[in-house]
A and B are shown apart, each in its own frame.
Chain A
Amino acid sequence: MSTPLLQIQGIHKRFGGLHALNDVGLSINAGEIYGLIGPNGAGKTTLFNVLTGLYQPDEGRFTFDGHDLFRKKPYVVVRSGIARTFQNIRLFANMTALENVMVGQHVRTHSGVIGAIFRHPKARAEEAAIRTHALELLEYVGIAKRRDELARNLSYGDQRRLEIARALATRPRLLALDEPAAGMNPSETEGLKKLMQKIRDDGVTILLIEHDVKLMMGLCDRIAVLDYGKKIAEGRPEQVKNDPRVIEAYLGVAPE
């Protein structure tokens, strides 16, 4: 087995008295779909925020693709190849779908003020490339027809897809999806599952938080379970499903 793509060890994050992440460690291999589950308030989203640089962990180690990302700013994390979506969709609501994806490419492009004002050939070429790639990504996630709609006017499912397209625009090696199927009907969920598999097949590793257990079991290669800020189980879906600690965390202990 080669070295994992992402590796964290002993991550702690405290908010005042709340120990939101307590000695969490996990490693994700390139090319897998890695699921993260746990009851509400278990620390899944906190872990996401740590992994994407929005929160600075208190202790621990965090390496990704050979880079040390412990306590690095989000733009460093994104540049290293981690992109994310949000649990409660955070699109640029008053920008069009196309513009949203164009913004996503900010981190991989370089034109500055001079390029913007003088539009020299290099800046022009870059702008054209940004546009073309944005269109490709909208096509890829299947909402190309709605490219000129404001993000706020898209249907819920399309907003989720647009968020994924925007995250893919940063050209990530790891795509972190925070409850992408929340609020979707079964057919939308099925479409999303296909999309995630397509993304994985195209070489992007996926880290996924989701409550839809059926979806997770059918999709993930490995799953980790968080409860009260601790990792209580990790392994293949069927292993995790039958782990007594996981059952306890979700259903409580049967009285003696």
Chain B
Amino acid sequence: MNFAFLQTPRGKLITYAILGIVLAVLPWVLTGGFENGKAWVRAVDFALLYIMLALGLNIVVGYAGLLDLGYIAFYAVGAYCYALLNSPHLQAMLPYWAHNPPFLLMLLVAAFTAGVFGLLLGTPVLKLRGDYLAIVTLGFGEIIRIFMNNLDRPINITNGPQGINNIERVHFLGIDFGRPVQWLGLTFDMVHLYYYLILAFCVLIIFVTLRLQHSRIGRAWVALREDEIAANAMGINIRNVKLLAFAMGASFGGVSGALFASFQGFVSPESFVLMESIMVLCMVVLGGMGHIPGVILGAIIVSITPEILRDVINPMQEAAFGKRVLDPENLRMLIFGLAMIAIMLVRPEGLWPSKRRAREFHEHDEEARA
């Protein structure tokens, strides 16, 4: 295939225009074309949230090369931030001005708080790398979850395992995202409204990541990944650059978490288990570490595949055996695990790697052939 056309300014413009139109009509195609279309739009909304998470983790793992197995903790921090300020649960205790802050301010608070937690994680692990770093970050993720599970005593802050209920939906630009809106003869349900909201923030995060990638900071991150000692000797302040990577990555997670809490209307520690951290890491690795389109692709595949399996395997089973023999929920991890093994064997650089990474993995093939 020849992609040269896509590189010209006009080609780019046309590509983005087509992409924009597809993304704009996607929820309507789904609700119009499928019986359970709303569930599909919902799945897409979650995929978008995962894209944000994967892009955040990509900064830490893909650019700066710091393996983080507790990333979901920042998602949790963002989600609880939103939940605590926007639900009746804590409102008796909080001063009046802290109730339901304006949406954009709320997101800034969530991003900032998650960023602070990123620094909290980053500071003690500055000297760790590889396996050791992975273990500590894994522990950190669990600590956050366990805190949320147990902070219902002595003062009930997080409401423990029951989680926080009745979280207010987003109110933004005069729209209540919890209620259907009639516009242009279309009924925008909550899933549609949230689709556009989350998409907007997703695009924002992609934009920020792109800008960071091609900047002095982005280069310092990559240098750190490539050779920490050399980066140090070139006068890069390793401590600051690492902490910045942790904080930036965490703040993306915080934004995503806040949107998640408002969309779901409910948060509990169960949403933030280790498996979720691993899933986000899989999205990054599977798609292509350090390459934004790859990471997005990875996030979409990993988060949408289970939904497709559910809708494909059940009818298949019913057709073949007349009943459901296996619950696809149980099969999911099996299939997922096998897919991961296959991909790591065949394409260790990820499905859609950056040119740099593809070269890194495959130039030895050429040498071997020559």
User: Are A and B physically bound partners?
Assistant: yes
- Residue in B211, B220, B359 whose CB lies within 8 Å of A106: B220
Contact of B212 among A54, A73, A103, A113 (CB under 8 A): A113
Given contacts A103-B220, A116-B218, contact A92 B226 (CB under 8 A): yes
- Min CB distance B193 to A, Å, is 27
CB of A91 within 8 A of CB of B216, answer: no
Which of A84, A94, A119: most chain B Cβ within 10 A? A94
Q: How far is the CA of A78 from the CA of B237 in the complex (A)?
A: 10
The CA of A91 and the CA of B231, in the complex, are separated in Å by 9
Chain B residue nearest in CB terms to A112? B217
Residue on A with the closest CB to B209? A117
A117 B230 Cβ-Cβ under 8 A:
no
Binary flags per residue of A53-75, CB closer than 8 Å to B gives 1, else 0: 01000000000000000000111
A117 touches B208 (CB 8 A): yes
B36 at the interface (CB under 8 A from A): no
Which B191-220 residues have C-beta < 8 A from chain A? 208, 211-212, 215-220
CB-CB < 8 A to A112: which residues of B?
Answer: 217
Q: Interface SS of chain A: helix, strand, loop or mixed?
A: helix
**Interface: A102 (CB within 8 A):** yes
A9 interface contact, C-beta 8 A: no
CB <8 Å contact, B227 and A92: yes
For A75, the chain B residues whose CB sits under 8 A away are: 232, 235-237
- Interface CB pairs A-B, < 8 A, 17: A75-B237, A78-B233, A79-B235, A83-B234, A86-B233, A91-B230, A94-B226, A94-B360, A103-B220, A111-B216, A113-B217, A116-B215, A116-B216, A116-B218, A127-B215, A166-B234, A170-B235
* Complex contacts, B295 vs chain A, CB 8 Å: none
Question: Is A239 interfacial (CB 8 A cutoff)?
Answer: no
Give the residues from 223 to 246 in chain B that come closer than 8 angstroms, CB to CB, to chain A: 223, 226-227, 229-237, 244
Residues of A within 8 A of B229 (CB): 54, 90
The contact of A153 among B216, B223, B363, by CB within 8 Å, is B363
Residues of chain B within 8 A (CB-CB) of A167 are 234
| B148 interface hit (Cβ, 8 Å) | no
Q: Is A109 an interface residue (CB 8 A)?
A: yes
Q: Which residue of B lies closest to A76 (CB)?
A: B235
Q: Is the CB–CB distance between A86 and B360 below 8 Å?
A: no
Is B343 on the interface with A (CB-CB < 8 A)? no
